[in-house]
Structure 1
Amino acid sequence: MIAGVDLAGWRELAATVRRASWEAQATISVSADGPQITVRPMLLGPSRVARPFTVAGDPVALLLSALAADTAATVAISLTRQGALPTKINIRGYAGPAPKMGVHLDVAGLVTPARLAAAADHVRRYSVILRTLAESSPVRLLLVTPDGSQPVHLAEPPPASLSSGSPSPGSSSVRFAGSSSVDAGGEVHAVWRQGARSTVTAADRSIVIDRPKQLFGTDRGPSPEECLLAALAAEIRIHTGGEVHVSARQDLRGGLGFDGAPVGLRDILVQCLDPQAAIPAPGPVLELLRQPTDVSIEIENRRTPDAP
């Protein structure tokens, strides 16, 4: 194990899912009925993995936290596979005028420019959060009301001419109360020291982002994918009230480099139970997911063993 990255474990997982692809299928989910978003148990192949975590915060900050932590962990995997020894990574995740986001990583340790360039390419290809944002991700939105009306669906960005108002039972799209909003400005700072774990700070909040032990983390906090879903749940619930559930599927083979396997999250589903208000204009998190988002990656190296 190098820098907390279990390369042997990842190789063993790749061999396992090559033999049985169903072992690579994961379902992740979160729920919110208040300011705190609860991470639900993860389904990983045939196993149910406990995830005893809650998340809170600004939706865009949560999305940036997911991007920063996932980018750092992916860089660490790439560098250790190349035989480098990163000792610390300082990360700044930022969002400007949508659809544009970026991550700047400052790697401490003796790492050559060629290895940094290879790590940047690896991130662009295999970071789950980056690929979810870079490829437009259809989001299905179900409004479940107590009067028994049929759920309504939102699979594509609504046309500009979509009028406001409440959806009718059985309608094929959500009618938003206002126009689209993609003002996604924000910034987070994070520190990676080993494995899949980063500590991310946004404003006055800090969160540890990690992966379950089954995916070679240390189980100290929610995963980047769970934080992304929490960002979407928080954004939707701010406006609708009620109870919000968000789930998605992930094919682990994508991040392992299997040809033809998707890297990003798919089948993103939002369920609003007994919404208390009309569906608002799409917020920045929803819009960044539903349209291709330009994510820039910059990696530098201070060439010091462990600078503060």
Structure 2
Amino acid sequence: MSSITEGAFPYDNAFSRNLGWVTEAEQQKLRKAKVAVAGLGGVGGFHVTTLARFGIGAFSIADFDNFDVPNFNRQAGAMVSTLGRPKAEVIGAMVKDINPSADLQVYPKGVDESNIDEFLKGATVYVDGLDFFAFKARQLAFAACHRLGIPAVTAAPLGMGTSVLVFLPGQMSFEEYFGFEGCNDTEKALRFLLGLTPKRLHNSYLVEPDRINLQEKRGPSTVAGCMLCAGVAATETVKLILGRGEIRAAPWSYHVDAYTHHAAWSWRPMGYRNPLQRLGFKLGMAMLSQSATK
């Protein structure tokens, strides 16, 4: 089958093992869908390749970064053969290697105010693959999705688990849930962490807490967490495209942790204004202030 070309690619046969979980008609619906993914590192690369194997027919993908050695522990496209190469180029090639007939739009300089609407044009769903600390780009992307009426999914890798949020048109927005407006980057990092992890299922096995430093924008990660992110985010995306299966949008979120064998739903009405979130933020800022004076 090494002679397969785009024109001769046997799409139906390639994705026939999806059938049973989806119908033939639904598989064609996936083929006609377009998914936009900004950020192609830890979670984003797995998002794109997982959705490509679901048979999604079109993608917009964006990332301005190149692969480097510290990416090896978790990123789908990070290999010796890709060192120094653009992430968007590498992940785009992986998509075409899975499905040569896929319609692929690549944004090698990432997303910003000048191209976000073009990047999202025609997208059925947006899936967030941005780095945890890419606050400006994340605010921009989710605000554009809310304005354009595009469902948006974010799945954060937390230790050896994942926490998932879905934002639907006409319902609670990313800003209403996280409250980034007017915050500095440290405050945004804490709000983002608290909003993603109300149940904190991963805390019990964080053996070296000092590896997390919100002010220095660094933290540990695992490939297990990233791959779990891709599985659950792809599932929510497929449900949105097919219009079946329960979708609980923000302020609902759910956290699945493979290490502790736990899963939990969280409900945070009022988002960041929720009394529990406000208390967590106040305590978190106090702890950060205290650690900065040591």
Q: Please confirm whether the aligned pair reaches a TM-score higher than 0.5, indicating the same fold.
A: no
Higher strand share: 1
Which structure has more relative contact order (CA 8 Å, sep 6+)? It is: 1
Q: Give the TM-score normalised by the residue count of structure 1.
A: 0.26
Q: Give the TM-score normalised by the residue count of structure 2.
A: 0.27
Higher helix share: 2
